[in-house]
């Protein structure tokens, strides 16, 4: 099973369990993958999906310090 199929199955599970944090996270990752696929006009396989996930994770880690400095609780 590819990573994109796994994300889709995990999203279905999160929706059934009403786990909003997991649902939002998976939707964010899937949106980033689809965005890259549209921009590059290609289909990403597992290695490409991992690169996108790593890039999104780095963005979130970098912005976390800024949020903590500003005192946001989101």
User: pLDDT tens digits for 16-74?
Assistant: 999 999 999 999 999 999 999 999 999 999 999 999 999 999 998 888 888 788 876 66
Treating both helix axes as pointing N-terminal to C-terminal, what angle do 46-70 and 20-40 enclose, rounded to 10 degrees? 120
The answer to whether residue 74 is domain-embedded is: no
pLDDT attached to residue 14: 96
pLDDT attached to residue 71: 75
The answer to whether residue 71 is domain-embedded is: no
- Tally of structural domains, the chain: 1
The answer to whether residue 73 is domain-embedded is: no
pLDDT attached to residue 53: 95
Q: How many CA atoms lie within 13 A of 52 on its CB side?
A: 22
pTM beyond cutoff 0.85: no
pLDDT attached to residue 64: 81
Provide the domain limits for residue 18: 3-65
The answer to whether residue 27 is domain-embedded is: yes
């Amino acid at each position: 099973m590819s990573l994109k199929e796994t994300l889709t199955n995990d999203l279905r599970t999160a929706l059934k369990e009403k786990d909003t944090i997991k649902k939002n996270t998976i939707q964010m990752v899937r949106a980033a993958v689809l965005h890259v696929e549209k921009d590059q006009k290609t289909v990403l396989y597992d290695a490409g999906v991992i690169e996108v996930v790593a890039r999104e994770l780095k963005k979130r880690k970098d912005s976390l310090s800024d949020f903590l400095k500003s005192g946001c609780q989101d």
